[in-house]
Amino acid sequence: MGTRSRNHVTVSGRAGGPVVMLAHGFGCDQHMWRLVVPLLERDFTVVVFDHVGAGQSDLSAWSPERYATLDGYTDDVLAICRELALGPLTFVGHSVSAMMGVLAAAREPDAFAGLVLLAPSPCFIDDPATGYRGGFSADDIDELLESLDANYLGWSGAMAPVIMGNPERPELGEELTNSFCRTDPDIARVFARVTFLSDNREDLAKVTVPTLVAQCSVDAIAPPEVGAFVQSRIPGSRLVTLDATGHCPQLAAPEETAAAITDFVRAVH
């Protein structure tokens, strides 16, 4: 099976323009980029896809062994790059997909013109021994995963509005809740562990391509200290703090998000 069908790859926008690949985070699919894509299509070739296990991907391609770590997802990203053969592209990774981009660019830097790490976190768990603050204690994450295991739909309804932020716009939290609830619970349980238990802090220094770290001004999942940490560990990277709040600026502030991506892509091409 080709990657186009396995990952439901969609290519749109300006043929021959710089290529921008958008990768969604946990509990989401490519639909989460729908407000940003039209703003990028005018200038760029835009690639969106679903991680295996999400959206309209081929669910039969998912296995708990292959996707027990970020490596399986990273393999898929690189396979899509090779099959499309569109040349070096800018990879925009949201949340956990930011670390997939880090791993992919470290492994095959020639495939990438640059990285945009949107609301990234290399490690969600605080590390008191080193002074690293990820935003959650180990007990917090254990409790989060236990709650998810016990009642995934209930967990989704409670957590999605927290992740989304923007309580004055409840429709955003409702959309994320619905996205979570469309995900197969067994797949979600495995992906949640990959998302919240991975530690990619040591991988950041391996990135050699131009990188933009784009964090939100208020984010319950990836606080500002995390974005600053990522920027400090990736040589030559740049940090921008969006006015957007919450963990999903592509929904909460699509124009601002698209503008940050556009400025970066133009600078690296």
State the catalytic residue, choosing from 57, 95, 121, 179: 95
Q: Is 95 a catalytic residue?
A: yes
Which listed residue (8, 51, 94, 247) is catalytic? 247
| Token couple for 3 | 């990657």
C-alpha to C-alpha distance for 164 and 90, rounded to whole angstroms: 25
263 is catalytic: no
Q: Is there a catalytic annotation at residue 247?
A: yes
- Exposed/middle/buried for residue 253 (C-beta within 10 Å: 0-12, 13-18, 19+): buried
Three-state DSSP class for 20? strand
| Euclidean distance between CA atoms 48 and 26, whole angstroms | 15
Which two tokens mark 201? 């802090």
How would you list the strands of the sheet with 10-13, edge to edge? Answer: 10-13, 45-48, 19-23, 89-94, 112-118, 211-218, 238-245
Please give the DSSP secondary-structure letter assigned to residue 19. Answer: E
> Which residues is 74 bridged to in the sheet?
none
Q: Which residues are catalytic?
A: 95, 219, 247
